[in-house]
Structure 1
């Protein structure tokens, strides 16, 4: 009877142990199923490269588009490289431990932990860059608006500049007309070769050997537009060879005509103009010791006032 009771007690004990072991086994199974799935080394390496490449592309995009963000982007890139290299080093260590299951498992756990950090970093930077993209789009839009305003302002300036240029051209044209209106016209132009008599009088001659100087006399036509004051007539004498006589010692030089061209003159006559002044004479003779001589042939005279030709005459010497 006692033996039978002992056997029953032992049976209950064995059943209890089995129940406990079964419960523990189920607990372990449930706890394992709630953990993150294990990744092998190849999967970790592949995801690491993918995350690194994706974020590098984003950073490169903004590095080209926004110079002002360059320092911040460099910091992000440096942190990315740091985490990427750390995982690469762990992968290299794992490769060395591939024949040691326990050490390899430890390396894989470390790799998964670092991969979590890399995922979190990439997610955070992706959100940050998305915000930067939004701000950049807003800045582009604002810059476009400013550009439109700038172009409108430039168009207005160009329009005003064109109007100013037109006004200047009109003013210059009016000034030219006024200049033409302020020309001293002449009449009764007489051009002679002459000599002085013993009494000091001027006597015309048509003989080259007797000629001592040229003289042009004329009357000025009254012009109310011309302001009283200093004025000038430029005289050109053209010899029989077609050359304008220019001797600096005898007052020769160059002047600008109404078109701005430089022209030689034989002599210039400066005088004070006033409305009642009518007669004027201009004389020219070769300098003492000059090699220039009066030659046989036809001479011509041209007179200029304020850059415009106002008189022309000819004479012949024999």
Structure 2
């Protein structure tokens, strides 16, 4: 009996040991699987977090490029090409980061590309800053040149105005002035003889005599003399085609002639035959030459 009991107890103990080993193996397997799942979860969370970080970094880089473009700088061809290449790379990265899963290898490659983009943007911003400073300097120089040009233009205008005033003074000083201006009305006989008259009914022409005031500045040469005659009503007697310029304006004249001036106290005469009848009243005349008024006179016809 004793031996039989020993055999039974020994068999139970073997079963117990077996169960213990099985339970330990199961516990070990569960522990291994749990740890493995935890590591996988941690790895997934790490990849997801890095993915979000990279997305944020890419968006920041894109914002910096947009900010640089908002400065409206004229970029060189090289900078334009580099910026376009960067934007293409940003679009590729954003598309890759939108995917549901990323391998560790994909993540490492994305991290490298983002670092390269960051380096490019830093260099790009430095070049933009330099261009901005150069533009400010150019603008400052341009404004200075513009102010200088404006000041010089004002000076030139003032000088031109002074020169013009001086020229007018010189021309005025050199212009001829009439002296002892006299008007005589004449009746013309059939034989051509002129008879001085004072009545309007018998007058046919007016004769204007004058001397020239001595002027050493006046040019000793031929001068064109213009005569304007006004009737008693104040109307100018002139052909509308007879135009000249004097005292800064264009006007009509009644008659004209040329005289040779030699500063020798010569007496000059201008005759005007009235194509119409004279009327009673005062007739006035004005003489012009070299663009200026030369002299005036009047006559009364009864």
- TM superposition score category, shorter chain reference: 0.7 to 0.9
Alignment of 1:84 onto 2:72: no
- The answer on 1:220 being equivalent to 2:208 is no
Give RMSD over aligned pairs. Answer: 3.5
Partner SS state of residue 39, structure 1: helix
Give CA-to-partner distance per residue, 1:73-115, whole Å, 9 cap, x none.
Answer: 2221122212322332x32xxxxxxxxxxxxxxxx343x5434
Q: Counterpart in 1 of 2:117?
A: 125
CA distance in 2, matches of 1:41, 1:124: 20
Gaps of at least 5 residues in structure 2 are 1-23
- Equivalenced residue count is 272
Cα 1:115–1:213 change in 2 (3 A) is farther
Q: Which runs of 4+ in 1 moved over 6 A?
A: none
Shift of 1:48: 5.1
Shift of 1:190: 0.9
**Alpha-carbon distance in structure 2 between the residues aligned to 1:212 and 1:296:** 13
CA separation in 1, counterparts of 2:213 and 2:132?
72
Counterpart in 1 of 2:224? 232
Distance in 1, matches of 2:193 and 2:86, equals 106
State the partner residue of 1:315: 299
1:177 aligned onto 2:169: yes
Q: How high is the TM-score relative to the length of structure 2? A: 0.76
Matches of 1:51 and 1:136, distance apart in 2: 20
Corresponding residue for residue 18 of structure 2: none
Equivalents in 1 of 2:93, 2:152: separation in Å?
Answer: 61
Alignment match of 1:243 (pick from 206, 214, 235): 235
**1:200 aligned counterpart, secondary structure:** coil
Which of 242, 245, 248 aligns to 1:256? It is 245
The 8 Å contact of residues 255 and 264 in structure 1, kept in 2 or not, is answered as yes
**Cα distance, 1:146 vs. partner?**
3.6
Partner of residue 8, structure 1? none
Q: How many Å apart are 1:42 and its aligned residue?
A: 6.2
Distance change (3 Å), C-alpha of 1:175 and 1:213: same
Structural mapping, 1:38-49, within 5 Å: 38-39=44-45, 43=49, 46-47=52-53, 49=55
Q: Unaligned 5+ residue runs, structure 1?
A: 1-17, 92-107
Aligned partners of 2:201 and 2:277 also within 8 Å:
no
Counterpart residue number, 2:258: 270
TM-score (norm 1): 0.72
Q: Is the 8 A contact 1:87 1:114 kept in 2?
A: no
* Residue pair 2:222, 2:259 contacting (<8 A) in 1 also: yes
Counterpart of 1:38 in 2: which secondary structure? helix
Tell me if structure 1 keeps the 8 A contact 2:175–2:289. yes
- Among 55, 63, 71, the alignment partner of 2:69 is 63
- The residue that corresponds to 1:73 in the other structure is 83
Partner of 2:158: 166
